[in-house]
Amino acid sequence: VKLEADLGQALESQQWRLHYQPQVGRTGHITGVEALLRWQHPERGMVSPGEFIPLLESTGLINEVGEWVIEDACRQLACWATMPHLRELTISVNISPLQFRDSDFLSRLQQVFIRTKAPLERLKLEVTESLFVEARDDARDKMLSLKAQGVRFSLDDFGTGYSSLAYLAQLPLDQLKIDQSFVHQVLDSSANAAIVESTIALAKSLNLDVIAEGVETDAQQAWLLAHGCRAFQGYLFGRPMPAEDIEAALLAQH
């Protein structure tokens, strides 16, 4: 109850932070980052999203905080666009289904885009299959409208949901993100290996990019490379970190 009460003032008190986790190509160079929200609580320290995202959703605060997340990420994109070593970076932002379904979502985003002048072709929104369980044509229409402005879409946690493949093929997606639960087990479980292989094949036949998340070991990356995956995210390449650390890593790789 206490934590929930504190959520209401977290925005005003500037307790939200974005951390960024590197996404790398086959050579290990950073090509993008995923923005991950952190709550810097005055007494408890960093509270994890596993605890506060459900609270943001149940209180309806997800719309406001989610808008803050997109705005902060867009400002970062606009800033990086002015820096030679950083201007090609993409930022992926997680969008809760509740936030995406809100009737003001598109108009709020328009205002953010105008305020920040972010290069939208480097903004990627991560949605999950659960978005398409209900009101899916509305979700698809919103995606098409954002897509027309250059925004890209990644399907997060792919393989863990219940969406129909026939419907997924009709969505304006750019990327499938292989869920980390499959990646962690890829060397130990032939069932998981088969799921990862099928996902890579599906992405290829639908002409989508594919990225593996949760890559922790060289052996996992080698397996994924051998099976046609060319983009990776995971502790092997870097933990979620403040923007300055991403900037330092990018300068170091040049």
Question: Which stretches of the chain bind ligand G, using CB under 6 A?
Answer: 21, 36-37, 48-50, 53, 66, 69, 94-96, 156-157, 180, 213-216, 234-235, 240
Q: Is 156 in the site for Mn ion (CB under 5 A)?
A: yes
Residues that bind Na ion (CB under 5 A): 156-157
**Burial of 175 per CB tally in 10 Å (0-12, 13-18, 19+):** buried
Q: Minimum Å distance from CB 94 to ligand G?
A: 4
Q: Residue 36's binding partner, choosing from Mn ion, ligand G, Na ion, none, with beta-carbon cut-off 5 to 8 A by kind?
A: ligand G
- Please identify which residue in 71, 126, 129, 179 interacts with Mn ion, judged by CB under 5 A: 126
Query: Which region, judged by CB under 5 A, interacts with Mn ion, from 51-59, 78-86, 110-118, 122-130?
Result: 122-130
Which residue shows structure tokens 């989610």? 66
Q: Residue 238's binding partner, choosing from ligand G, Mn ion, Na ion, none, with beta-carbon cut-off 5 to 8 A by kind?
A: none
Q: Is 129 in the site for Mn ion (CB under 5 A)?
A: no
> How many chain residues are in contact with Mn ion, going by CB under 5 A?
3
Residues 53-82 that bind Mn ion (CB under 5 A): none
Q: Residue 37's binding partner, choosing from Na ion, Mn ion, ligand G, none, with beta-carbon cut-off 5 to 8 A by kind?
A: ligand G
Q: Minimum Å distance from CB 84 to ligand G?
A: 28
Q: Minimum Å distance from CB 48 to ligand G?
A: 5
Q: Minimum Å distance from CB 47 to ligand G?
A: 10
Q: Minimum Å distance from CB 52 to ligand G?
A: 9
- Measured from the CB atom, the residue of 6 and 156 that comes closer to Na ion is 156
Long-range pairs of 234-242 with CB within 8 A, sequence gap ≥ 24: 234/180, 234/183, 237/22, 237/23, 237/24, 237/28, 237/30, 238/21, 238/22, 238/30, 239/21, 240/19, 240/20, 240/21, 240/34, 240/36, 240/38, 241/19, 241/20, 241/21, 242/17, 242/19, 242/20
State which amino acid sits at residue 1: V
Q: Is 6 in the site for Mn ion (CB under 5 A)?
A: no
- Measured from the CB atom, the residue of 87 and 229 that comes closer to ligand G is 229
Q: Minimum Å distance from CB 233 to ligand G?
A: 6
Q: Minimum Å distance from CB 156 to Mn ion?
A: 4
Distance CA 67, CA 55 (A): 16
Q: Residue 10's binding partner, choosing from Mn ion, Na ion, ligand G, none, with beta-carbon cut-off 5 to 8 A by kind?
A: none
